[in-house]
Copies of this chain bind each other. A is one copy, B any other.
């Protein structure tokens, strides 16, 4: 870490299913972690954000030490000048002023609101797999494909204020339709959803009775990986096709930005070295330079968003609170 001053901050990682929160210290250790379901049943976006803020307020009361900052990570785009959530489809929040809601409950604290993939990148850079890396990325292989970039030792979140959508760079021009409207995005081929789709294709080709049996209960990425590990032919085919797509995407980032390391997180990264080795083995053929970066596992798992969203505030507590520290 940058210095040895002790501090405690409150981190909130808002997901479409669960909202995780906890107290984070200067070393990235998380205390008093708690989780509530995302209050999607509430119609009013304002009220949803208030429920989250109330829970955070309770956590603050429970914790007996001084908090000197807080942050929220959301799966969507955030206007970095105002802390307003522009679009978070999975949360049903659009132009939602999360900053102001949190400010009402926490009048005297720097507050940061950021994209969750950006938060994960900051967390991995501060305390995890990207600690000694000046230029790297985090890719989260989940339902979608999120990602954050560390450039010149700092989070890089884009030039126009939209944020970097790593999962929506093109991997297959004219390929399969993506939820974003474009075709052939990396997300369509490298997310956990993609691995399940490849597994389903292999199951339906009749190569693997075990994979076909797994279809009945609903195929998961984890099951495809398990079967591939066990040597099931169809599952192996699906898994290595997936690893091939992922290695093309990784090589693409290496060629484009000459990154040192890409840290893989999210569900599929649970495959560990079985996945990382398969991807790294393909990089020599796909990378432009012999001395290229490699992929490895992210270190902080599901806590990355929670830890990272208070990390940036730590680095520059005053300037980060966009609307002025004591302005309200």
Instruction: Verify A135–B158 contact, CB threshold 8 A.
Output: yes
Q: Contacts A181-B285, A182-B285, A288-B180 given: A256-B171 contact, CB under 8 Å? A: no
Tell which of A27-35, A218-226, A244-252, A273-281 binds the partner: A244-252
Q: Which residues of B contact A168 (CB under 8 A)?
A: 255-256, 288
8 Å CB interface, A100-151 against B: 133-136, 149, 151
* A139-177 interface bits toward B, Cβ cutoff 8 Å, 1 = contact, 0 = none: 000000000010110001111111111101111111100
Q: A63 interface residue, CB < 8 Å from B?
A: no
A131 to chain B, nearest CB (A): 15
Assembly CA distance A166 to B253 (angstroms): 9
Residues of B within 8 A of A189 (CB): 173
Interface of A is mostly: loop
CB distance from A230 to the nearest CB of B (A): 27
> Is A77 interfacial (CB-CB < 8 Å)?
yes
Q: Tell yes or no: A258 within 8 A of B by CB.
A: yes
Among A52-60, A289-297, A312-320, the stretch that binds chain B is A289-297
Chain A interface category by residue count: 35 or more
**Given that A158-B135, A170-B249, A170-B251 are contacting pairs, would A164 and B257 also be in contact in the complex, using a CB cutoff of 8 Å?**
yes
Answer yes or no: A21 CB below 8 A from chain B CBs: no
CB distance from A158 to the nearest CB of B (A): 3
Chain B, residue nearest A151 (CB): B151
A272 to chain B minimum Cβ distance, whole angstroms, is: 24
Query: Is B77 touching A159 in the complex (CB atoms < 8 A)?
Result: no
A260 at interface (Cβ–Cβ under 8 A)?
yes
- Which residue of B is nearest A147, CB measured? B256
User: Bound complex: CA of A158 vs CA of B134, how far in Å?
Assistant: 10
Contact indicator A160/B285 (Cβ below 8 Å):
no
Distance from A239 Cβ to chain B, minimum over Cβ atoms (Å): 16
User: A149 contacts which chain B residues (CB < 8 A)?
Assistant: 257
Contact sample, A vs B, 10 pairs, CB 8 Å cutoff? A158-B258, A160-B260, A160-B291, A160-B292, A160-B293, A169-B253, A169-B256, A170-B171, A170-B286, A173-B244
